[in-house]
Amino acid sequence: MVETVETYDGWYSLHDFRTIDWEKWQQTEKTKQTNALNELHELLAKWQLIEDNKQGSHALFSIIGQKADLMFMFLRPTMKELNQLENEFNKTMMAHYFKPIYSFVSIIEKSSYTKPTQNPYEDPAMRSKLFPVIPKTEYVCFYPMSKLRGETNNWYQLPKSERGKMMFDHIKTAKPFTEKVKRIITGAMGLDDYEWGVSLFCDDPLPFKKLIYDTRFDEVSAKYGNFGSFYIGTHVSKEEINAYFLD
């Protein structure tokens, strides 16, 4: 029997992608636009209070390209809270101009091929990874991925030691980028179509390309990686919301 790997789980995560009906928005009278934006700001203030109280986190990104217009990223202690905030936004005036295009539901996950020296949930460094504040860098890169279960190459039939070696080599390749590129890894087995979500954060998009290019040559990616669509976006702060919709 193949030995599994213990995982440590943190906050639940929702990546919520939307397109905007710009024609409908631009045809809306200014008073209604203002009311919709004010309601959105009230909701953002509510989310910020939750983040300030260390009970979750959120961020908004403008997606570059035609896959979506905006991505909301949320972290919450429970799946139910993700559902509640999603429904709360769907009931706002602003949501009338949005159309859901894609979503990814998961939970922050850290796995270990070695036995920890202490309880991970009591380790401040580990807790900061399991219950983080979403980095408010200039750029985000998100993509879902799974490990291959093909007839010839099947990740889930490899011995734990072999999987561990490949993962340590993968981490070694990515290490030179850790100062510039922050990441949040979420597990989605049983929660979504892919098995993991990778969210990368940086103030320059070029390191995303270099990091992903270098790690593609690692055996774990080259032989066993199965990747979904990549989404690249720029952070939209609360101070930039009005300009995004009105300029």
Domain containing 82 equals 6-246
In a domain, 155, yes or no: yes
Cα 237 from Cα 125, distance rounded (Å): 27
pTM: 0.96
- Quote the pLDDT of residue 1: 75
Cα 94 from Cα 247, distance rounded (Å): 16
In a domain, 222, yes or no: yes
In a domain, 1, yes or no: no
Of all residues in the chain, the percent with pLDDT exceeding 90 is 93
Sign of CA dihedral 47, 188, 97, 237: positive
Tell me what the mean pLDDT of segment 86-107 comes to: 97
Q: Which of 64, 110, 17 lies closest to 208 in space, CA to CA?
A: 64
Q: Is the CB of residue 96 less than 8 Å from the CB of residue 27?
A: no
| 37-42 long-range Cβ contacts below 8 angstroms, 24+ apart | 37/94, 37/241, 37/242, 37/245, 37/246, 39/92, 39/93, 39/94, 40/92, 40/94, 40/241, 41/238, 41/241
In a domain, 142, yes or no: yes
CB-hemisphere CA count at 13 Å for 37? 17
Among all residues, which ones are annotated catalytic?
143
Q: What backbone torsions phi and psi does residue 171 show, to the nearest 5 degrees?
A: -65, -40
Query: What CATH number is attached to the domain comprising 106?
Result: 3.30.70.1030
Over residues 210-224, the pLDDT tens digits come to 999 999 999 999 999
pLDDT over 80 (residue 232): yes
Q: Is the CB of residue 109 less than 8 Å from the CB of residue 12?
A: no
The DSSP letter of residue 236 is: -
Over residues 154-190, the pLDDT tens digits come to 999 999 999 999 999 999 999 999 999 999 999 999 9
Tell me what the mean pLDDT of segment 66-86 comes to: 98
Please give the tally of structural domains in the chain. 1
